[in-house]
């Protein structure tokens, strides 16, 4: 019988991933609640000490020793009818000192405490042992059962919350469990249920039960129903965490990520810098034959990733951010944090990107409003993107709609295809700048898409 109690506690600890101390605390709180309900008095502060080895229990009334004057004030207030049961302390109005008040449930006057134990002094805690009723074991078993279950459930929820709160902002492996209403997916994170709401899903990705993915732990909140774990597949930080997990130089801090601009499911630009002059930051991220970056691309279901070298020189950084386009010049307006970037006519569509994606991401990554113009054009004649990535163009500076952006892409695409000299130039770029077709600054894939059929000549 003695061993069965210990075994039961150990089994609960194993099944619920709880510490033995938390389980014992839950049992003691449940027994205290059972005693208070059937045998306790109004002003008793009950605490139970339970011995799991032999099943023995001791019941105490715990009091804190306070000065006699507090009891006298309390009795006076009771006589005057101003207070039925005062709290242990209250905070007075602003500017006044905190006023300590007597609480008969938790406090005991110094004189009375010294009648029990002469060595008592103010601030000490006194434990008054109470007799254990003969039928308490039977009553406790009935009354405490539901309380113990509830306490254990609360402890389990708190344990899950504490565990995942520490994991907030990290990437964990998970499995899509099922689909709920409103396109919400339940994710199994090693036995713990989390949710992937529609707002955190990538539109280009398809999810199905049993699918294994990596999830970014966006937020962990405690709700009345227990911990709520929100995961994400579209958060830009998932890219940063995947880089940290897959690239040792980033994990160790030798290579540092300075910024990320992402359009989830389509393209990301990642700015990196090396803290060691002997380490190539871009080469470290790509890996031998593109193995490292390809692993990250596969995890993001084919999302293109441009790796950009960060520079403290704003002009150089902006030029790098517009890769794969080759920039002719960069003119900065530091006061308004705006810049005009000139490119050759055959580089204009590469600088803008499909639907303005390239310049949009570059603006977000650098924090500068970027206007791209062709050589010979002036301010207001090109296409620009502000720091939020909103496209503007033409002399009016009005925002460009999605349809207009598509039309612009088609227009530039036609112009680009009509220039025979571009073919050889693009071939050279692809052979020298790409690994695996699309890894370095997205050069290969972008070129293939913008000039279909031309490279076969």
pLDDT at 23: 81
- 0.75 surpassed by pTM: no
Average pLDDT over residues 300-312: 93
Give the domains, in start order, of the chain with CATH numbers.
2-162 (3.30.1480.10), 167-235 (2.40.50.140), 313-457 (3.30.300.20)
Q: Residue 76, SS3? A: helix
pLDDT at 155: 82
Question: And the tokens for 86?
Answer: 């005062």
Longest dimension (CA), the chain: 106
Unique residue bearing structure tokens 């955190």:
200
Residue of 123, 445, 113 whose CA lies nearest to 302: 445
Question: And the tokens for 263?
Answer: 């359009």
Our CA angle for 163, 165, 170, nearest 5°, is 100
Number of CB atoms found within 10 A of residue 24's CB: 16
pLDDT tens digits for 264-276?
999 999 999 999 9
Q: Could you give the strand order of the β-sheet that contains 383-385, starting from the edge strand earlier in sequence?
A: 327-333, 338-343, 369-374, 383-385, 391-393
Residue of 435, 186, 198 whose CA lies nearest to 297: 435
Q: What is the DSSP letter of 329?
A: E
Compute the distance between CA of residue 53 and CA of residue 61 in angstroms, rounded to an integer. Answer: 23
Mean pLDDT is highest, among 2-16, 361-375, 437-451, for 361-375
pLDDT at 122: 87
pLDDT tens digits for 131-189?
888 777 776 666 667 777 777 788 888 889 999 999 999 999 999 999 998 889 999 99
Question: And the tokens for 49?
Answer: 């000490």
> DSSP labels for 136-149?
HHHHHHHHHHHHHH
pLDDT tens digits for 190-239?
889 999 999 999 999 999 999 999 999 999 999 988 899 999 999 999 99
pLDDT at 388: 61
Asked if residues 447 and 429 have their Cβ atoms less than 8 Å apart, the reply is: yes
126 bridge partner residues: 63
Radius of gyration of the chain (CA): 34
pLDDT tens digits for 37-89?
878 888 888 898 888 777 788 889 898 988 888 888 888 888 776 544 444 44
CB-neighbour burial class of residue 40 (10 A; exposed 0-12, middle 13-18, buried 19+):
middle
Q: Label residue 390 by pLDDT band (50, 70, 90).
A: low
pLDDT at 445: 35
Asked if residues 363 and 386 have their Cβ atoms less than 8 Å apart, the reply is: yes
Number of CB atoms found within 10 A of residue 131's CB: 8
pLDDT at 179: 93
Average pLDDT of the chain to the nearest whole number: 78
Both ends of the chain: CA-CA distance in Å? 87
Average pLDDT over residues 84-95: 45
pLDDT at 317: 94
**281-310: b (≥16 Cβ within 10 Å) or e:** bbbbbbbeebebbbebbebbeebbbbbbbb
**pLDDT beyond 50 at 411:** no
**In this structure, are strands 46-50 and 57-66 parallel, antiparallel, or unpaired?**
antiparallel
Strand intervals (E) in 190-300: 192-196, 212-223, 226-232, 255-263, 267-274
Residue of 197, 195, 198 whose CA lies nearest to 186: 195
Asked if residues 241 and 251 have their Cβ atoms less than 8 Å apart, the reply is: no
Unique residue bearing structure tokens 């530039």:
412
Asked if residues 362 and 370 have their Cβ atoms less than 8 Å apart, the reply is: yes
Q: Residue 174, SS3? A: strand
pLDDT tens digits for 331-356?
998 888 899 999 998 989 899 988 88
Residues sharing a CB contact under 8 Å with residue 179, sequence separation 6 or more, in sequence order = 185, 186, 207, 209
pLDDT at 4: 60
pLDDT at 268: 94
Q: What is the DSSP letter of 98?
A: P
> DSSP labels for 22-56?
HHHHHHHHHHHHHHHHHT--TT--EEEEE-TTT--
């Amino acid at each position: 019988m003695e061993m069965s109690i210990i075994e039961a506690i150990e089994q609960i600890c194993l099944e619920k991933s709880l510490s033995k101390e938390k389980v014992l605390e839950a049992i003691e709180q449940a027994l205290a609640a059972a005693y208070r309900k059937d045998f306790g008095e109004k002003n008793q502060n009950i605490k139970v000490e339970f011995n799991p080895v032999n099943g023995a229990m001791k019941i105490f009334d715990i009091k804190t020793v306070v000065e006699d004057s507090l009891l006298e004030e309390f009795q006076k207030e009771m006589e005057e009818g101003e207070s039925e049961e005062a709290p242990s302390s209250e905070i007075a109005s602003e500017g006044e000192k905190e006023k300590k008040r007597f609480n008969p449930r938790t406090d005991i006057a110094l004189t009375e405490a010294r009648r029990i134990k002469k060595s008592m002094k103010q601030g000490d805690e006194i434990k008054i042992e109470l007799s254990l009723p003969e039928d308490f074991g039977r009553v406790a078993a009935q009354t405490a059962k539901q309380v113990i279950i509830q306490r254990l459930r609360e402890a389990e929820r708190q344990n899950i919350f504490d565990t995942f709160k520490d994991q907030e902002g990290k990437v964990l492996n998970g499995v899509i469990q099922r689909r709920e209403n409103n396109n919400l997916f339940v994710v199994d994170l090693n036995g713990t249920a989390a949710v992937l709401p529609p707002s955190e899903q990538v539109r280009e990705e398809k999810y199905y039960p049993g699918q294994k993915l990596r999830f970014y732990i966006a937020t962990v909140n405690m709700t009345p129903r227990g911990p709520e774990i929100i995961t994400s597949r579209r958060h830009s930080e998932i890219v940063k965490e995947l880089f940290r997990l897959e690239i040792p130089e980033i994990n160790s801090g030798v290579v540092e990520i300075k910024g990320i601009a992402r359009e989830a499911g389509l393209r990301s630009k990642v700015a990196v810098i090396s803290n060691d002059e002997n380490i190539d930051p871009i080469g470290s991220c790509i890996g031998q034959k593109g193995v490292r970056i390809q692993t990250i691309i596969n995890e993001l279901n084919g999302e293109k990733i441009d790796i950009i070298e960060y520079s403290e020189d704003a002009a150089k950084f902006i030029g790098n951010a517009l890769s794969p386009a080759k920039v002719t010049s960069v003119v900065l307006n530091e006061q308004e944090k705006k810049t005009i970037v000139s490119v050759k006519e055959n580089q204009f569509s590469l600088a803008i990107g499909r639907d303005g994606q390239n310049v949009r991401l570059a603006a977000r990554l650098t924090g500068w409003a970027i206007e791209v113009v062709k050589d010979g054009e002036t301010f207001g004649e090109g296409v620009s993107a502000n720091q939020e990535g909103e496209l503007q163009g033409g002399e009016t500076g009005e925002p460009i709609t999605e349809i207009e952006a598509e039309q612009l892409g088609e227009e530039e695409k036609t112009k680009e295809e009509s220039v025979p000299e571009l073919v050889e130039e693009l071939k050279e770029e692809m052979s020298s700048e790409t690994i695996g077709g699309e890894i370095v600054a997205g050069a290969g894939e972008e070129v293939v898409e913008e000039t279909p059929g031309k490279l076969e000549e």
